[in-house]
Structure 1
Amino acid sequence: MQKNILKSGIELSEIGLGCMSLGTAYDHAESIIERAIEHGITYFDTADIYDKGVNEEIVGKALKKYQNRDDIVVGTKVGNHLQQDGSTFWDPSKKHIKSSVKKSLHRLGLDELQLYQLHGGTIDDPLDETISAFEELKQEGIVQAYGISSIRPNVIRYYLEHSDIETLMSQFNLIDNRPEALVDEIHAHNVKILARGPVFKGLLTANSNQALDNKFADGIFDYSYQELGETIASVKEVENNLTALTFNYLQSQNALGSIIVGASSVEQLDENIENYKAAKAIGVDQLKAARERVKDLNYTQHLQ
């Protein structure tokens, strides 16, 4: 599988496993992780908040046997402060970040973390304090690289200009193409995009009609329900395999680091890998034709 390299030298498989959907049954989750490794996936994305930390424990346990492999990369995220009653509040403070990384390392069974990301953020955060927390973790050898997960242009631009982030995780797919407006800036700072939501809640899969009815009945962004259905039908005239098409679209972005696919079953993961392979057969003209049939979306909030 294609590997994309961060500026620290960390290599990410071009398909990464989003672990949030693994569930809490260990044997089931382990079977998906094992199949991912068989397919050449070496990047595993989790967060301290997923299943209140259980997800990190499962990922760590399943990957323990591979700790001697230099190519296995685990990334986790921080910022949502879990309270004893199960509720959370946003906490990008240095104290919380430096305390939480120790807990994540313990659950993952690691001595150091390859990639640590801020799990959200606003322009009103104590941005420089947050950045200094990640920088200190790097200097202390606890974290190799850090990044952010955000769809807020003002936050993204601040981190691009004032930090040494290596990754930006953001929803990105053929329909939600808003990150296109930032790709050149991201690439200029040698930052890699981790594209989450590549199949857009099932809309860009073979089950697109079902997803449209169940999840997009009120439309989304600049699309009404009817417009979205008509757009999907039009794109299918160019390429019927919508998942392969959106994978190809993401691969065409020069800042791509990894396409993060979720999988709640081995079969679902296998299907994603087959579509990833099929994406290579889609030509430039075909992709261009498909892209012309969807709207150019732009961020409308959090611009300043």
Structure 2
Amino acid sequence: MQKNTLKSGIEISEVGLGCMSLGTDVNHAETIIDEAVQQGITYFDTADLYDYGENEKIVGKLLKKYQNQNDIVIGSKVGNHFNKETKEHYWDPSKEHIMRSVKESLQRLDLEQLDLYMLHGGTIEDNKDETIEAFERLKEEGLIKAYGISSIRPNVIDYYLKNSNIETIMMQFSLLDNRPEDLLEQIDQHGVKVLARGPVSKGLLTSKSTEVLEKKFKDGLLDYNYSDLTDTISKLNSEYDNLSAVTLNYLKSFNALGSIITGASSPKQLVDSIQNYHETLTEEQIKHARSIVKNLEYTNHLS
């Protein structure tokens, strides 16, 4: 599998496993993790908030046997105070919280150093300089190798690109949700890589698109009302046999791409995703698919 290199030299597989959907059954999660490694995935994405710390524990435990032989890269996220018992959480991007939370994440992951640590959200009102100072301090102390943000707010992204040494931006990105296109040139100019989440738009860009459309999208999606969405999916299905391969090839066409983050609830689902990733479309096929969907733009958090 193709690997892409971050500014710090960390190499991540072009498909990463989004571990949020692993669940809390360790034995079941192990079948998915093992299949991911078998398929060439080396980037594994988690967060302290996922299952209120349990996800990090499972990821750390199951990846332990691969740590020294498969170039495994683990990314986690921070910024939420949470209470495991009450399931309550609130936003806190303070230096104090980040400095304390990384040690808790490292303990749960059973690591001495975390490869990638990302801010799990963020607003323009945050004390962003304090947040950046925390991440820089963690790098100096050797507790993390690199840091980034997870955000779809253009004003927040712009600030971190101009004022920090972020190496990744995780953002919702697919053929249907193509809003990030407007930001990619700036992101690429700063040598930052995009971690694309939601690549199949909650199942709309899969073989089950019609079923998913009826079940989940009666109210439409972003700038699409239900009728628009139905017409668009119908047109894509009439011209392409594999919508997942289309959206994955679309994402692969951008220089700023670091990794496509895919979730999996079973080993078979993961194998199917990797097969779709390896299916190659021509540049013309990708351009044509792009012409079928709407040009979307961010409308909030612009300044």
Match of 1:243 in 2: 244
Q: Give TM-score, length-normalised by structure 2.
A: 0.98
C-alpha deviation, 1:184, in angstroms: 0.2
C-alpha deviation, 1:224, in angstroms: 0.8
Whole-Å Cα distance in 1 between the matches of residues 237 and 255 of structure 2? 25
Match of 2:27 in 1: 27
Whole-Å Cα distance in 2 between the matches of residues 220 and 274 of structure 1? 27
Whole-Å Cα distance in 1 between the matches of residues 12 and 59 of structure 2? 17
Percent identical among aligned pairs is: 62
Number of residue pairs matched by the alignment: 302
C-alpha deviation, 1:66, in angstroms: 1.5
Whole-Å Cα distance in 1 between the matches of residues 196 and 71 of structure 2? 20
Please tell me whether the aligned partners of residues 49 and 82 of structure 2 are also in contact (alpha carbons under 8 angstroms).
yes
Please tell me whether the aligned partners of residues 93 and 126 of structure 1 are also in contact (alpha carbons under 8 angstroms).
yes
**SS of the residue 2:292 aligns to:** coil
Whole-Å Cα distance in 1 between the matches of residues 143 and 82 of structure 2? 22
Please tell me whether the aligned partners of residues 22 and 32 of structure 1 are also in contact (alpha carbons under 8 angstroms).
yes
Match of 1:274 in 2: 275
**SS of the residue 1:155 aligns to:** helix
Please tell me whether the aligned partners of residues 61 and 109 of structure 2 are also in contact (alpha carbons under 8 angstroms).
yes
**SS of the residue 2:203 aligns to:** coil
Match of 2:65 in 1: 65
* Correspondence list, 1:1-304, <5 A: 1-69=1-69, 71-83=71-83, 85-278=86-279, 280=280, 282-304=281-303
Whole-Å Cα distance in 1 between the matches of residues 163 and 282 of structure 2? 38
**SS of the residue 2:81 aligns to:** strand
C-alpha deviation, 1:140, in angstroms: 0.7
Q: Which runs of 4+ in 1 moved over 4 A?
A: none
CA offsets 1:156-212 (integer angstroms, 9 cap, x no match): 000000000000000000000000000000000000000000001000000001111
Whole-Å Cα distance in 2 between the matches of residues 117 and 168 of structure 1? 8
Whole-Å Cα distance in 1 between the matches of residues 236 and 132 of structure 2? 41
**Mind listing any 5+ residue stretches in structure 1 that lack a counterpart?**
none
C-alpha deviation, 1:85, in angstroms: 2.5
What's the Cα RMSD here?
A: 0.8
**SS of the residue 1:219 aligns to:** coil
**SS of the residue 1:300 aligns to:** coil
Please tell me whether the aligned partners of residues 238 and 286 of structure 1 are also in contact (alpha carbons under 8 angstroms).
no
Q: Give TM-score, length-normalised by structure 1.
A: 0.98
C-alpha deviation, 1:77, in angstroms: 0.3
Question: Which residue identity does 2:147 align to in structure 1?
Answer: Y
Whole-Å Cα distance in 1 between the matches of residues 30 and 56 of structure 2? 12
Q: Which piece of structure 1 moves more, 64-73 or 24-33? A: 64-73
**Mind listing any 5+ residue stretches in structure 2 that lack a counterpart?**
none
C-alpha deviation, 1:68, in angstroms: 1.4
